[in-house]
Structure 1
């Protein structure tokens, strides 16, 4: 593959969607011999890893195109190896400690719930709008919102309520309609959350909406809509951050502020109130950086902090409780400990 073709492929993936000291993760983690784990390795998933989180026990979990991986501080284990060949994309730990994993691609198989012992699968057969699940969100009532190709599904634990996104905006479907094929990228939900007023924010491949009581409002700044927002994040002050091709934005008290004009794919707030972003300087020859915005004491103003340049395409960022920053990238998993960036790719 020539260099120019590789750059084009990397960009299309985004639009459509070295060493350091080992740190022990928090939590009561059972230490096991690698021979006791089938398929356990000291390297992370190979290739595209879309999202990464830390669970309540301190384990790191990764949604990758090669499966769901768990990292216990020593070994990586592919937890879905015998489950499905689908590409995993989205991930969430709910308030009860269950883990949810969404799949995408032509062989997408909906969303899986893992209770620590077994996986349970939810697909269009159970009422999910589409089997391509690009985002997962749990609201304050303990119910779930699944962003899919063509709209989103509300799940109360027993049944689905579906909402379709098309050229006319958002409308609830009460006919039981499902999409068996991938819908337009414009109508795919990239990210979803609720603000402190209980209003749902939905970022799609096209516009970003606020949705409340059957009314959809297109979010704009200076009468310009926010197009193709890739990630929404609510910080500890209740402000909403938006990242996408048009940069990094914050909505605070209904006022928008811009912090960066680079392409932003991922946002996370750490325990100290700093905002970390994965971004690229341009779309033609993207060079991806991990950047930090330091906050003041009341977390209302920010200044530039550390920047780590020349990274693979960044899809997801999370802050673990030991202060490390973890990256899900085009080339697997990385960890930044405040001094050095470590790759868990076996080729490094």
Structure 2
């Protein structure tokens, strides 16, 4: 009996040590007054990947020159004194924390006072974070090079792309280097299934199995960059095969041009960034909601002449923000502001 108690105590000790090792602590960075960031009257001047609006109405921009907060008057690069990484993705979670995904330095969580940096050393699958998503349970998902990581507030569960398949990893592996495919977008639909858009196949995950998404001809949707679910429950996919809508039974194609990003606005219009007809540049298009069901969609060209157009946001005031290779733009329904000079802030 004595030896049994000792054996149980040893097992409990091993278990507790193991749990502590698997817990993702992250490197904490306290923001002092002199680290509050650099404020300018203009926005980022380089590659601008993603844009969101927080609960307070601030605009947050993930750019290769930092993370910018726009308060309606000026731009502040809040991370300039914390990290020199290139930033790709941004999310505000339900608790008000902001998450910033970088290329090479993992992900940063910002609570308004301090940053917490999570990397492969904490269990993140890879340090190139291309997408961030919060699911209905409050878990934070990260699309990374090589697969995805799900953070439950304590530890990471990883999912690995293996050629044409994707599977849950039970070994705790991480990838120090860039892999062949990255997860570009993650969305949970109304049925609770997750859609993973990757540089390879597109997958639907029901919590147990990853299923490859294929068209009626049996061909897989490859290199999908953006997935959204609209107000009616239809799923839209944009990527190398163009723009597609899935109503639960059939896929409908709207264009074969390469599509980068998709959003649905308050009126039900679909906005995309995509290659133009001659593949010599990119355009920002608005598909009229009233024409999306009659087989003759009407697309209005809002912005052209850009070498690339990235993330799109409809702000609370209805204005459309979008990123490019040369910074950020805002469209008010008539005019486009580029935020490249002091005169832009009006």
Give the TM interval when normalised to the shorter protein. 0.7 to 0.9
Q: Alpha carbons of 1:253 and 1:171: their partners in 2 closer, same or farther (altered >3 Å)?
A: closer
**Structure label with greater radius of gyration:** 2
Does the aligned pair in 2 maintain the 1:201–1:208 contact within 8 Å? yes
Cα distance in 1, alignment partners of residues 239 and 277 from structure 2 = 12
Q: Alpha carbons of 1:225 and 1:125: their partners in 2 closer, same or farther (altered >3 Å)?
A: same
Cα distance in 1, alignment partners of residues 220 and 297 from structure 2 = 26
Counterpart secondary structure, 1:92: strand
- Residue aligning to 1:167: 163
- Residue aligning to 1:232: 227
Cα distance in 1, alignment partners of residues 37 and 155 from structure 2 = 35
- Corresponding position: 1:44 with 2:43: yes
Cα deviation, residue 306, structure 1:
2.8
Alpha-carbon deviations, 1:149-182, whole Å to 9, x = none?
A: 1111111100111111112511222121111111
Cα deviation, residue 253, structure 1:
2.1
- Residue aligning to 1:214: 208
Cα distance in 2, alignment partners of residues 49 and 228 from structure 1 = 20
Q: Alpha carbons of 1:300 and 1:116: their partners in 2 closer, same or farther (altered >3 Å)?
A: farther
- Residue aligning to 1:307: 301
Cα distance in 2, alignment partners of residues 254 and 128 from structure 1 = 35
- Corresponding position: 1:143 with 2:142: no
Alpha-carbon deviations, 1:273-306, whole Å to 9, x = none?
A: 11111111258x5221111112139x85684253
Cα distance in 2, alignment partners of residues 203 and 168 from structure 1 = 12
After the TM superposition, which parts of structure 1 deviate over 3 Å for at least 4 consecutive aligned residues?
A: 299-303
- Corresponding position: 1:54 with 2:53: yes
Q: Select the residue among 284, 288, 293 that pairs with 2:282.
A: 288
- Residue aligning to 1:3: none
- Residue aligning to 1:202: 196
Unaligned 5+ residue runs, structure 1? 1-36
- Residue aligning to 1:178: 174
Cα deviation, residue 94, structure 1:
1.1
Cα distance in 1, alignment partners of residues 299 and 205 from structure 2 = 35
Aligned pairs for 1:35-114 (under 5 A) are: 39-104=38-103, 108-114=104-110
Q: Alpha carbons of 1:109 and 1:270: their partners in 2 closer, same or farther (altered >3 Å)?
A: same
Unaligned 5+ residue runs, structure 2? 1-35
TM superposition score normalised by structure 2: 0.84
Does the aligned pair in 2 maintain the 1:312–1:331 contact within 8 Å? no
Cα deviation, residue 131, structure 1:
0.8
Cα deviation, residue 218, structure 1:
1.1
Counterpart secondary structure, 2:237: strand
Cα distance in 2, alignment partners of residues 261 and 133 from structure 1 = 28
Cα deviation, residue 145, structure 1:
1.2
- Corresponding position: 1:189 with 2:189: no
Counterpart secondary structure, 1:233: strand
Cα deviation, residue 345, structure 1:
2.2
Cα deviation, residue 336, structure 1:
0.7
